[in-house]
Structure formats: structure tokens, C-alpha cells
Amino acid sequence: MRPGTRVADAALRLLGRDWAGLAIALLPAAAGAWCVTLGTGWRVLGGVLCAVALALGLGSLRHLVHVARVKVRYPPPGRMVDVGGHRMHVLAEGDAGRGPTVVWMPGGHAGGYAMYRLHALARERTRSVLVDRPGSGWSDPGPFPRTTAAEAVELLTALERAGEKGPYVFVGHSFGGLLMANAARRRPDLVAGLVLLDPTPPDVVAFGPSLASLRHAARDQGALALRHLFGLHPLVPRNGAKAQDPTQVLALVETRTKANSAAASILRELSPGGITRDGWQTVVHDGELGSLPLLLVAPRDLTGGGHIFDAVDDPEESARVRHFFLTVRDRFLAASSAARRVYTPEGTGHDFPDRAPEFVVQVVGSLLDGHGPRAPDPS
């Protein structure tokens, strides 16, 4: 591991501690006190540094109070299971009967609650499971660096230690789709099917045009961790009111800095250097899923991606970029001989799981209906 990577991991590990703001505030406080001792000419600078330290300290205390309040109001709704020195949160509901259990994974590095609407619909007909990736939701951050390969193993371990049993249908959106494909590659014996909801193709990172949204993703998460560390986040609802919408609950829970720090670490994979470093363990290559039933669910066109293409002035280059993004996701179809394409409803873009949850659950249900009953539990 390169020295720069080790420094970045150490910095993110520190930022993931909610008390780190107080430690950081001590630095300008100490420098300010030292300046005051140097004499009259330095006292103004010393006063400024002490004022900065006070502001940082107060912001950090505000964050700690906020975190304590959120922890009391929003305890983990599922189980916390140990996966080897750190815990992951698993919420499992519904009865699978003799059919597969559905496991959901949202995009980005968000907690499982981001797909709660889908989970709530699916648990009416089968067992449905939400898992928080390490650092996200209620899960502990885990060791750094965060990688898709490591989180695929952690996901499988969390399901086992939570007492869940396959076969599973893994469903992942965007970056979560890449994770689920990795988990399926590692344990195909546990997987009845794979549903990839407009998954992130590594080819976009390795061979695609430079995109600011990917290039700055890790940096932006680190900046957000700093903002939260010093109290710059939404307040918990006043007057004893609690947020009820799962998205709002997750947003409050993930104001803990571990969420942004873990995301900043793993999103470094989504860079040319990161995919070169981790690609062998991250990419699912052609044919590696054998004949596993795989549904690639994605929009027919590039709805919602205009901001990417409008930045390309040359018409010919813009057409090439559009073609690339429209076709590159289909590389996932080559991973299995039993893969097929499903188009999302007209007018939907990359965020279709939020806009059309009933459609997504229906697609997953079609895969469940095509799978035979699970073997009786020998226990």
C-alpha cells in the first residue's frame, strides 16, 4: 500500500470518530496559546487562533449532542451481528416459505434503509432483508480501507451470523449492484438469482470519459464528514417529534461521521487508479456467474443524465459519450449465460427504484416465481 493511501486511510479513520472534532480543535488552541506567549506582536494571531478553536470546539460539542440524541431516538430496528471485530446491522422481515430470501443493497454507500419502500412491499410475499454496509446506517465502520471485495465477504458473513439461510435473490442498485455481483461470484451456491438495477459498470471508471461526479465523489464525502464533525447538519426534530419517513431516519442516522468516512474510502475505487488497484477483486468478468439467473434492469434511454452530456461541446464526441453510457451497462449480461435485459418504465432514469418501487418488486417477483421451492431445512 502506498504511503499516501495509508495517510488517507488514517485520516478517514480519525474523521469517522464523532469525538475527533474536539481533538482537532485542540490544535489551533495550542497554537494560539503559544502565540500569546511570544509577545505583543503575536497576540492578535493568538487570539484569532483561540477564537477558531472555540468555534470548532462548540461545533464539535453540538455534533456530539446531536449524535447522542439520534442514538436514543432511532435505535437499530434490526439485529447487530459481529462479522469479525465489527458489527453490521441486518433487518430481516417476512416469511420466505420454501422460496428464496430477497436481500437488497442501495446505491452509493447508503444504509439499507434507503430501500425500505421496496423491502416493505417485498416482505408481504417473501422474506426480505436490508443490510447496512460497514459505516452506513447503524453498522460499525469496520477496518480501512473499505473495498467492494471486502464488503462482499462481510455481507455474506452478516447474513450467516444473523441466522439467514439461502437461497438468496440479491438485488443491488448502482454501486450496490456491483457489490451484489461480487457477493454472487464468491458464493454462487447460496444465490438463486441476481437482479442488477442499473448497476455501476467498472468500464465507466476504467475507459469512460472523466466525470466530475465520480472524480470528486470521495473528496465530497470527506468534506461532508468534516461538516458533520463540527455540527453543520440538520437538527433532530424539535418538541419530541420523530422523523417517520425511512429516508429521513437514515439521513439523521448517517450524520454520524463514520458514514461519510467509510463512503469516502470505498468510493476511491471509482477512479482510474482505484480500479487499477482493486479491479481484479472488484470486476465480475464474462461468464463468471455461470448460468445464474440474472436480470439487468435499466432505462431504455439516458433519461436524467443530461448534465453529463451537456458538458461535452463537440457533437460527435457527445454522441460517442451517449452511446458509451447507453451500452456499457450491458457488459453485465455477459457475466451469466442466463442473463436477460428488462427495461424500466418510460420516462424513468437512474433513480427508478425510488420512482417506481412497485415495478422493481414486480420484476424481483418474476424471478422468485421462476425459482423452485427451497430444500427443506434439515434442522
Q: Mind listing the pLDDT tens digit of every residue in the chain (379 residues)?
A: 555 678 888 999 999 999 999 999 999 999 999 999 998 889 999 999 999 999 999 999 999 999 999 999 999 999 999 999 999 999 999 998 889 999 999 999 999 999 999 999 999 999 999 999 999 999 999 999 999 999 999 999 999 999 999 899 999 999 999 999 999 999 999 999 999 999 999 888 888 887 777 778 899 999 999 999 999 986 555 555 677 889 999 999 999 999 999 999 999 998 888 888 888 899 999 999 999 999 999 999 888 776 666 666 777 888 888 888 889 989 999 999 999 999 999 999 999 999 999 999 999 999 998 765 444 444 4
Determine which helix (DSSP H) or strand (DSSP E) holds 340, and give its type and residue range: strand 339-343
Q: Cα separation of 190 and 270, whole Å?
A: 28
Cα angle 213-219-224, degrees, rounded to a multiple of 5: 100
Domain ranges of the chain: 3-73, 79-216+264-369
Residue 128 identity: S
Checking phi first, is residue 94 left (phi over 0); if not, alpha (psi -120 to 50) or beta? Answer: left
Q: In the chain, what's the furthest Cα-to-Cα distance? A: 83
Cell of 356: 417506481
Residue 125 identity: R
Whether the model pTM is above 0.75: yes
Q: H helices of 267-312, where?
A: 272-282, 306-309
Fold of 79-216+264-369: Rossmann fold (3.40.50)
